Structure 1
């Protein structure tokens, strides 16, 4: 990744927490959603991790990432079962007390009524001083401590929680993104030429995404940058590169089976 800006970028890390994801029992859908939504806000997802339900692992990841990135978003591990330890782990990462949040308790009691048991009320526990993140789907809230947003792992709830907090986020400049594609030209045929185009356009980032279509190879070349003129200039050189390689450049992405 090239340094595309003359100012400090606004960055984020997504931490997916849960043994069920690592075992393959559950397929994560939150990374893709959060990356797309944060990109729209001018926030660049610089790292994603999937980590187990182990306190020391969660503490280490939260502390490393909150110091390195503008924002950290965690998903998973804030339910009512014994292996839901994200909230207490985040408290430990910040060196904060951990206990029942009065407003979270009020919401859960109002929602569950006579069915409010000890397991369900565990979802009212947060780090001391945490700000709640509303959960319009199933009431049990997430929370925020400084630049760390702790959300549910269930995708529909995670999305609802994120929708509630995205207005609080301070984004950077939204990137201009354009794609030039070609069919019949593989990465291996243009690797060195592509390296030269990237070197000539250091203010943008060029990603290469090979695909299969109709049994043949093709390549999508995605250009990202803050300056539309610089993105367009890189696209012009990519088209010339494709022509020189014997291919036909196509404006926009060509759908196919991606190979990476």
Structure 2
């Protein structure tokens, strides 16, 4: 069995917790990781508070192969992610000369104020995540990948960092429409899950086109043969339930 690669996401920002900004990054990262064979196991959202960021970061980075952090690397006083990451790793933080040089090419001396220079502060020993189209970089230190909160920039950073990550065997999945209420299939589904321990079977209720309660069953496995066996078991179970009595 290949190594299972895991990840956590740490979303940072008072604006997320207040509801002022609707997060658009968690779903993208989750799907991206699934597609490259990395299992997302946990998501945390914390305020712009250094102690809270450090605590969450320490918990996640010791539990999972990778931690993806979004938000808090901008130019304002409450953008404290880089400082918190440096503190979590016990390293210093300073203006990165390469980033400062790029800023000097972009901004005049008058424009290159203290706020903009905050975005050039990188923890010691971190690897930059940047490209010609990304002005203020993200960075990777240890197993922590620090990304921008702006979705378009975050997505570009994911494309840069992803080829350098370890990945495992991709989780395969198949969806089956049950044409039954979730409560009607709960018992048989429990028995089916026990009979197929190498597959994950989830049930997801929804209202169908006739506004009636229905259920999608999603079967997941890394092994295509075990996925096929579990899917066949689900179909047989549904067929038995729907057969005339």
Same fold (TM over 0.5): yes
Normalising by the residue count of structure 2, what TM-score does the alignment of the two structures yield? Answer: 0.95
CA distance in structure 1 between the aligned counterparts of 2:12 and 2:154, rounded to whole angstroms: 13
Return 5+ residue gaps in structure 1 as ranges.
1-5, 248-260
| 1:27 to 2:15 alignment | no
Match of residue 43 from structure 1? 38
1:129 aligns with 2:120: no
State the Cα distance separating 1:158 from its structure 2 match: 0.3
Equivalent position to 2:225, from 199, 218, 229: 229
SS in 2 for 1:139: strand
The equivalent residue for 1:255 is none
Out of 78, 82, 90, the position equivalent to 1:83 is 78
Contact 2:95 2:122 in 1 (8 A): yes
How many Å apart are 1:135 and its aligned residue? Answer: 4.9
Q: Distance in 2 between matches of 1:52 and 1:224?
A: 34
Please name the residue that 1:139 is paired with.
135
> Paired residue for 2:62?
67
Query: Which residue does the alignment assign to 1:211?
Result: 206
- The runs of at least 4 consecutive aligned structure 1 residues that moved more than 6 Å come to none
> Are 2:116 and 1:109 equivalent residues in the alignment?
no
Contact 2:2 2:169 in 1 (8 A): no
Q: Give the one of 160, 163, 174 matched to 1:164.
A: 160
Task: Return the TM-score normalized by structure 1.
Answer: 0.90
Separation in 1 of the partners of 2:131 and 2:14?
Answer: 23
Unmatched tracts of structure 2, length 5 or more: none
- Counterparts in 2 of 1:135 and 1:31: CA distance versus 1, 3 Å: farther
Pairing 1:149–2:148 present:
no
Q: Secondary structure, in 3 states, of the residue corresponding to 2:9?
A: strand
SS in 2 for 1:144: strand
Which position in structure 1 is the counterpart of 2:175? 179
Alpha carbons 2:2, 2:168 under 8 Å: kept:
no
* 2:175–2:218 contact (8 Å) kept in structure 1: yes
Equivalent in 5, 13, 17 of residue 18 of structure 1: 13
Matching residue of 2:190: 195
SS in structure 2 of the partner of residue 82 of structure 1: coil
The C-alpha deviation readout for 1:21-55, integer Å capped at 9, x for no partner, is 01000111111001111111110001111111110
* CA contact 1:72–1:147 (8 Å) conserved in 2: yes
Q: Please, what is the CA RMSD of the aligned residues?
A: 1.3
SS in 2 for 1:68: coil
